[in-house]
Amino acid sequence: MLEKATVSVDLVKIAENARRVVDALGGRRVVGVTKVTCGSPEVARAMLAGGVTALADSRLENLAGLRDAGVDAPLWLLRAPVPALAEETVRLADVSLESEIETVAALDEAARRLGKRHSVVAMVDLGDLREGMMPAALPAFLERAEAMESIDLLGIGVSLTCYGAIVPDAKNLGELVALTHAAETQLGRRLLVSGGMSSSLDALVAGTLPHRIDSLRIGESILLGVSALTREPILGLHTDAFALEAPVIECFSKPSKPIGTSAQDAFGERPQFEDRGLRRRAICAIGRQDVDPADIVPVDPRIEVLGASSDHLVLDVEALPEPPRPGDAIAFVPGYSATLRLFTSPYEEKVFAKERS
């Protein structure tokens, strides 16, 4: 009998996925991104065992957790800090992705105070419209950053797909390479080309990833085994390294359409329901505070996710030969947004398996 919702993580499969990605990229640096697991040290070590050269996260709190856990690897901060957090950034991160020169100046000052150096990847916006300076602003940014005493300009980078859903392709990745060549001419030395995230693996498969791109920041594909563009399996990776089990707390036959005058639900939405007659439905002890109900797939295809409130997941289990009883576990495979919310929530137990069962 299951007492509470539990997320199981197969660290062997994560390490194997990391190794397959590293091998497929043929010598390019792979920075393993841990942010979907809130900087889990266990997941970080599995990525390192698979051959990633550094680890990255968007939150300083997660980098601090990795440091405190003794994870020995270069750490990248993916989300640029505000200037007031420059000292904490220099203490925790070896590299940060930057687009505002004011922030880089604050990092330089903090690094000088601490007697350290801090590396920066200059981020350009090539169409996704999330972070990054416009390409025309890059030369002036490089000139000022290069003159700073304690800042090392490591390379040029781009983010694609996460916000604007823009596909990395020969055009935008080629523009990144051209910008890097121009930057190298300006600075007189070779730079790293950080060519995006998991979505750039599709360009690798399609044969359109420029050879000059020598680093990718990969999280979702290593952890979930799928393309970030299609959510379909990619590179023969394991797609079941994460599993969710939630306990049943109720199972009754009920009408499939609510009864009475309809208004907004708890989230300000007006849900629509199909009248399918009397159906057996199970309620599980997990809700939208913990997981994205639209992004979990029941392992048993006879089970259908109907929706969720803050704390209750509603399932149609009419097709099961026997109704589940309170305490029975219902198993799901979570997608990216579901995994992100599961690790952000403190209410689910996390179990890490280091060996094959």
User: pLDDT tens for residues 84-103?
Assistant: 999 999 999 999 999 999 99
Residues 112 and 175 in one domain: yes
Residues 89 and 154 in one domain: yes
**Which candidate, 6, 116, 100, places its Cα nearest to that of 108?**
116
6: in domain: no
Burial class (CB in 10 A: 0-12, 13-18, 19+), 232: exposed
Separation CA 65–CA 71 (nearest Å):
9
233: in domain: no
3: in domain: no
* Mean pLDDT within 272-296: 95
235: in domain: no
171: in domain: yes
Residues 188 and 261 in one domain: no
The residue type at 105: A
Which of these three, 174, 191, 224, is where a domain ends?
A: 224
What pLDDT, on the 0 to 100 scale, is given for residue 265? 75
DSSP 192: E
Query: Among residues 4, 13, 35, 354, which one is catalytic?
Result: 35
The tokens 């199972």 sit on which residue?
Answer: 251
Q: What percentage of the chain carries pLDDT values higher than 90?
A: 93
What pLDDT, on the 0 to 100 scale, is given for residue 275? 84
DSSP 211: T
- Write the CA distances from 83 to 80, 100, 148, 168, 213, integer angstroms: 9, 10, 15, 30, 29
Residues 23 and 163 in one domain: yes
232: in domain: no
282: in domain: yes
* Mean pLDDT within 302-324: 97
- Number of domains observed in the structure of the chain: 2
Residue 348's domain spans which residues?
A: 242-353
Which of these three, 162, 192, 224, is where a domain ends?
A: 224
What pLDDT, on the 0 to 100 scale, is given for residue 264? 85
Residues 219 and 248 in one domain: no
Instruction: Give the residue with greater pLDDT, 85 vs 272.
Output: 85
For 147-162, b/e burial (b = at least 16 CB within 10 A) is ebebbebbbbbbbbbb
CATH of the domain at 138: 3.20.20.10
Residues 281 and 349 in one domain: yes
pLDDT digits (tens, 9 = 90+) for 92-136: 999 999 999 999 999 999 999 999 999 999 999 999 999 999 999
What pLDDT, on the 0 to 100 scale, is given for residue 192? 98
CATH of the domain at 278: 2.40.37.10
Residues 31 and 142 in one domain: yes
Q: How confident is residue 356, by pLDDT bands cut at 50, 70 and 90?
A: low
Residues 180 and 251 in one domain: no
Mean pLDDT of the chain: 96
Q: Alpha helices, DSSP H only, in 53-169?
A: 60-68, 86-92, 101-114, 138-146
Query: Which distant-in-sequence residues (6+ apart) come within 8 Å of 322 by Cβ?
Result: none
What pLDDT, on the 0 to 100 scale, is given for residue 260? 87
Which of these three, 177, 194, 224, is where a domain ends?
A: 224
91: in domain: yes
What pLDDT, on the 0 to 100 scale, is given for residue 357? 54
Q: Per-residue pLDDT for 310 more than 80?
A: yes
- Rounded to 5 degrees, φ, ψ at 36 are -65, -20
Residues 219 and 246 in one domain: no
pLDDT digits (tens, 9 = 90+) for 187-229: 999 999 999 999 999 999 999 999 999 999 999 999 999 999 9
The yes-or-no answer on residue 35 being catalytic is: yes
Residues 212 and 280 in one domain: no
Residues 159 and 214 in one domain: yes
* Mean pLDDT within 156-182: 97
Tokens of 290: 């913990």
Q: How confident is residue 50, by pLDDT bands cut at 50, 70 and 90?
A: very high
Residues 103 and 249 in one domain: no
